[in-house]
């Protein structure tokens, strides 16, 4: 009996602090979990139910499971992760590991999706303009080729004429021999 009471007491003592000082947990995030964002995202804000300690961090991964570098700031009950580049399209995984108000390390993860419509970057726009504007200059190689053809043509005609004359001479000689 004594053993049972001691055992139950031990369990109660173990459970009570957990219940009284609940683990810190994520209460809100922006972008919100399981949503699709169509705008540029460079910042993720995670709000917890309690103050979180320095050393709390977050790891962000893209769709291919590649880690996206982030700068992490801890302020009060908020964890802010900032990326240097705009988040790529696709599923973004956010894995947070925080040191809660009770000193416990708690972790969790969620994901959201980035689906920004493809927008031509300024350089791409410039390329498009360059492509649509017809070239004002005539290809210098092309004109050169035309000129070459023009000068070669009389020679070809001359050679053909010469060949025809030779052919006719041979033909006439042959006919004479046959007679």
Q: Which residues bind Cu ion (CB under 5 A)?
A: 23, 102, 104
Nearer of residues 49 and 73 to Cu ion, judged by Cβ: 49
Three-state SS letters, the chain: CHHHHHHHHHHHHHHHHHHHCCCCCEEEEECCCCCEECCCCCEEEEEECCCCCECEEEEEECCCCCEECEEEEEECCEEEEEECCCCCCEEEEEEEEEECCCCCEEEEEEEEEECCCCCCCHHHHHHHHHHHCCCCCCCHHHHHHHHHHHHHHHHHHHHHHHHHHHHHHHHHHHHHHHC
Task: Write down the least CB distance from residue 18 to Cu ion, Å.
Answer: 7
Nearer of residues 47 and 53 to Cu ion, judged by Cβ: 53
Task: Write down the least CB distance from residue 93 to Cu ion, Å.
Answer: 24
Task: Write down the least CB distance from residue 51 to Cu ion, Å.
Answer: 13
Nearer of residues 54 and 127 to Cu ion, judged by Cβ: 54
Task: Write down the least CB distance from residue 75 to Cu ion, Å.
Answer: 20
Which position's Cβ is nearest Cu ion? 104
Nearer of residues 50 and 93 to Cu ion, judged by Cβ: 50
């Amino acid at each position: 009996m004594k053993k049972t009471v001691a055992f139950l007491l031990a369990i109660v003592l173990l459970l009570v602090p957990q219940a009284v000082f609940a683990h810190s947990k994520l209460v809100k995030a922006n972008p919100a979990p399981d949503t699709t964002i169509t705008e540029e995202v460079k910042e993720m804000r995670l709000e917890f139910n309690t103050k979180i300690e320095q050393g709390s961090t977050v790891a962000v991964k893209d769709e291919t499971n590649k880690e996206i570098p982030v700068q992490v700031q801890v302020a009060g009950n908020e964890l802010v992760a900032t990326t240097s580049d705009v988040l790529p399209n696709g599923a973004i995984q956010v894995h947070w590991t925080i040191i809660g108000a009770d000193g416990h390390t708690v972790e969790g993860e969620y994901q959201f999706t980035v689906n920004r419509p493809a927008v031509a970057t300024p350089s791409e726009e410039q390329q498009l303009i360059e492509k649509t504007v017809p070239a004002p200059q005539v290809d210098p190689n092309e004109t050169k080729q035309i000129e070459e053809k023009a000068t070669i043509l009389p020679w070809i005609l001359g050679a053909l004429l010469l060949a025809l004359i030779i052919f006719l001479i041979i033909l006439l000689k042959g006919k004479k021999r046959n007679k």
